[in-house]
Amino acid sequence: MMIRQPQVAGAFYPALMQDLYEQVNSLIASGNEKSNVAAAVVPHAGLMYSGAVAGKVYSRIKKADTFVLVGPNHHAVGSDFSIMLKGLWRTPLGEVKVDDLLAKEVFKKNQYLQQDPFAHEREHSLEVQLPFIQTLFAEAEIIPITIKHYKPEGVFLKQCECVGESIAEAVDEANHNVVLVASTDFSHYVHQSVAQKKDKKAIQTIIDMDPEKLFKVVWEEEISMCGYAACACVLYAAKKLGAKNAELIEYMTSGDTTGDLSQVVGYAGLTIK
């Protein structure tokens, strides 16, 4: 069986099991009311920077048997839309199984998705979600999907819509609880005041459940949001599955942790129901 080895252990999160377990548990918000969540938007930076945002989101999810994880392909390696159909993903906390049955159903329904484990080999945007999933949903499985983003706006948006709707169709036919996750950071390496202003506009399009407007705002405002396509896919899927409302759970920047406001990265966490 194919095993995807951790790529950012010791960098984005601790390499030792006990250290990682303790850090994740310190980031999981206690006392939050859990509810049935259709989808979520979470960041993917090092846990010291964005883990508090991700922890607040994951701790609000009541139940999940499978997480469909959709994130950007930062390295631009492999297919435009890449899915893993089988295998295990390893972290210091253990291994997470790919939901091969549901992954194959998603794959069969879409012309753009390619079976391409190589595209996932070095990508961190999905890997950093696993410690939260392993801690809070020990038996959950995953479907990993990554997206490269370099196509013309209209063509790319249509492809994201198609992939999102295929995910929704497969999830709708599934007989277990599935949560969709879009992995993205927001503005990159701008002043805190600029990040807050630009990110607020992008976040509002997600709250409005409007993937078309998200694309428009990201392009027109030149927002360096790495996972806007992942968010669009998940929004299309969630809407097709009947989700109506998105809520901002937390927003912060790397500057809130480091104190350096001159070059920050923005992190937002949202739930969609």
Q: How far apart are CA 254 and CA 236, in angstroms?
A: 29
Q: How far apart are CA 265 and CA 261, in angstroms?
A: 10
pLDDT for res 30: 79
Strand, helix or coil at 114?
Answer: strand
User: Is 62 within a domain?
Assistant: yes
Chain-wide mean pLDDT for the chain? 97
| Total of domains in the chain | 1
Model's pTM, two decimal places? 0.97
Q: How far apart are CA 72 and CA 123, in angstroms?
A: 8
Q: Which residues pair with 70 in a beta bridge?
A: 145, 182
CATH code, 51: 3.40.830.10
Kindly report, residue by residue over 138-176, the tens digit of the pLDDT. Answer: 999 999 999 997 666 789 999 999 999 999 999 999 999
Q: What is the extent of the structural domain holding 212?
A: 37-272
CA neighbor of 85 nearest in space, from 104, 108, 110: 104
**Backbone angles phi and psi of 183, in degrees to 5:** -100, 120
Q: How far apart are CA 202 and CA 186, in angstroms?
A: 8
User: Is 42 within a domain?
Assistant: yes
User: Is 218 within a domain?
Assistant: yes
Kindly report, residue by residue over 58-114, the tens digit of the pLDDT. Answer: 999 999 999 999 999 999 889 999 999 999 999 999 999 999 999 999 999 999 999
User: Is 11 within a domain?
Assistant: no
Highest-confidence range of 115-119, 219-223, 267-271, by mean pLDDT?
267-271
With contact defined as beta carbons under 8 Å apart, do 78 and 119 qualify? yes
Q: How far apart are CA 135 and CA 24, in angstroms?
A: 8
Reported residue count of the chain is: 273
With contact defined as beta carbons under 8 Å apart, do 125 and 82 qualify? no
User: Is 16 within a domain?
Assistant: no
pLDDT for res 70: 99
Instruction: For the chain, list the strands marked E by DSSP.
Output: 3-4, 39-42, 66-72, 81-83, 88-91, 94-97, 113-115, 141-147, 178-183, 188-190, 246-253, 264-272
User: Is 9 within a domain?
Assistant: no
**Backbone angles phi and psi of 145, in degrees to 5:** -135, 130
pLDDT for res 132: 99
Q: How far apart are CA 267 and CA 122, in angstroms?
A: 22
Strand, helix or coil at 228?
Answer: helix
With contact defined as beta carbons under 8 Å apart, do 40 and 178 qualify? no
